[in-house]
Structure 1
């Protein structure tokens, strides 16, 4: 079978790469794939390339599919399709008209319209795969940091972490941070002496560290600002709790978490304190796989 040639436009942002790679990885499990990575052109260069082509693209194989996440990739996706062909798939809501792309994969918290060229996703896609090796006695504590939508309060989070550790004496926990975690957070975490808690700062992790941990952790607690890690933990199949952090103002990320809680996918900290137990996802939560199947069935069956 001739492989599908997929051009992946990368803007260099880890979160965007995680989404586009997750989709291509999922497609590669359904069809033979030849993936080519290329950088998006500057806006003016992309417009010109749509008419004249781009030197960087001339040596690349003819694409069947063009994939990109992030605003910087949009014009290059369209220019490459015009000059070299293929179907243009954009992840997340684009800054350009939806009808310009062959398919838009848009998270439901962005309120996508009902259109044949739009596929609504539960959160952002990722590279995590459902695990059949989860261990009930292993858990992950995933710490984010302040963002555009959320503030931060070390003392309140320390208290929430301490309560979870005290209530789960049979679980060995691993805590890790993110690039947004305030520098002083770990210094103030007095629980580091707890024998059931291992602390691994983000600087000591590699790209495969978190997927390996999620493949084994039966439970995961995540700060509410780190919505991408919530979806990754759900995809792995862990029982997921969400810690509270200050909200700057009502926002789409918070509404998305509220929807997940109402549907029974996650357990907010306030509900856990009232006695609600963390439970594993009641069904498959693998959005990359679902989107990959739709793409293959629509264009390459």
Structure 2
């Protein structure tokens, strides 16, 4: 019995009482005591210690795999927006996009937005001299699954640092990942994790993550839970 989202926690616990032979699993830091469930799967940045019944992952789980379809010279820029720990900085983001375009004159550069990107940003972007080098896809015009498909095709993905889930999704897809800095409203485990991941400062507003083997956290967790459940 698997629960995703805080509204499921009480239901999963109750279902575990009704079906005592079933295993109960929560895919986040639970709102109830961890001992209420057989297993919890928690991102490392939540600060919960690993144990036989707590599986700690790099980032939240996502459905991606590295399909080995990356096209050399294909770049994806994925923009977020303001969040509880970040403040959108248009000038800084425009500067980062310009630097990416200038550093990759022979590359195909695709740019997309998110629901949190300010509405007038694309209009301001369109006024820049380098905008003609971009293939722009506003989030409103992208179908479900579009961003995941682009991550399978791009060899490098640049993400604004507020979009933590996309950083790990791009890593899981096997992309080289760059982080575009925007203003921080506070420092916490999330921003500290980004600082640990992004070692290589390539410009004053862009850092590259260490390009290690692609993540495969969903497969690892599934195998571990199946192994524990059968033992």
TM range (shorter): over 0.9
Matches for 1:9-88 after TM superposition, within 5 Å:
66-85=1-20, 86-88=22-24
TM-score by length of 1: 0.71
1:108 and 1:279 mapped to 2: Cα distance?
17
Flag the 1:220–1:120 CA change in 2: closer, same or farther, 3 A: same
Q: 1:172 to 1:69 in 2, by over 3 A?
A: same
Match of 1:182 in 2: 118
Deviates more, 1:183-192 or 1:240-249: 183-192
Distance in 2 of aligned mates of 1:99 and 1:150: 34
Paired residue for 1:200, among 95, 116, 137? 137
Give the TM-score, by structure 2 length: 0.92
Q: Residues 142-161 of structure 1: matches in 2 within 5 Å?
A: 142-161=78-97
Displacement over 4 Å in runs of 4+: 276-280
Tell me the residue number matched to 1:286.
216
> For residues 288 and 98 of structure 1, do their structure 2 counterparts lie closer, same or farther at Cα, with a shift above 3 Å needed?
same
Distance 1:249 1:196 in 2: 34
- In the TM superposition, residue 279 of structure 1 has moved relative to its aligned partner by 7.2
Contact 1:192/1:198 (8 A) holds in 2: no
**Is 2:66 the counterpart of 1:136?**
no
Given the superposition, is the C-alpha separation of residues 143 and 243 from structure 1 closer, same or farther in structure 2, using an over 3 Å criterion?
same
1:228 aligns with 2:165: yes
CA displacement 1:225-247 (0-9 Å, x = unmatched) = 00000000000111100001100
Partner of 2:102: 166
Aligned partner of 1:93 in structure 2 is 29
What is the DSSP-based 3-state SS (H/G/I as helix, E as strand, rest coil) of the residue aligned with 1:256? helix
8 Å Cα contact 1:128-1:232 kept in structure 2: yes
Correspondence for 1:127: 63
- 1:296 & 1:222 partners in 2: Cα distance? 34
Give per-residue Cα distances to partners, 1:32-52, cap 9 Å, x unaligned: xxxxxxxxxxxxxxxxxxxxx
Q: Which runs of 5+ in 1 are unaligned?
A: 1-65
Q: 1:242 aligns with which of 166, 176, 179?
A: 179
Listed as ranges, the gaps of 5+ residues in structure 2 are: none
What CA distance in whole angstroms lies between the structure 2 residues aligned with 1:141 and 1:252?
25
Asked which structure has the greater RCO (Cα within 8 Å, sep 6+), the reply is: 2
Instruction: Decide which of 258, 271, 275 is 2:195's aligned counterpart.
Output: 258
RMSD: 2.0
Structure 2 distance, partners of 1:179, 1:173, is 20
Structure 1 Cα separation of the partners of residues 210 and 172 of structure 2: 10
Partner deviation per Cα, 1:206-235 (whole Å, 9 max, x = no partner): 221011111110001000000000000000
Q: Distance in 2 between matches of 1:111 and 1:253?
A: 10
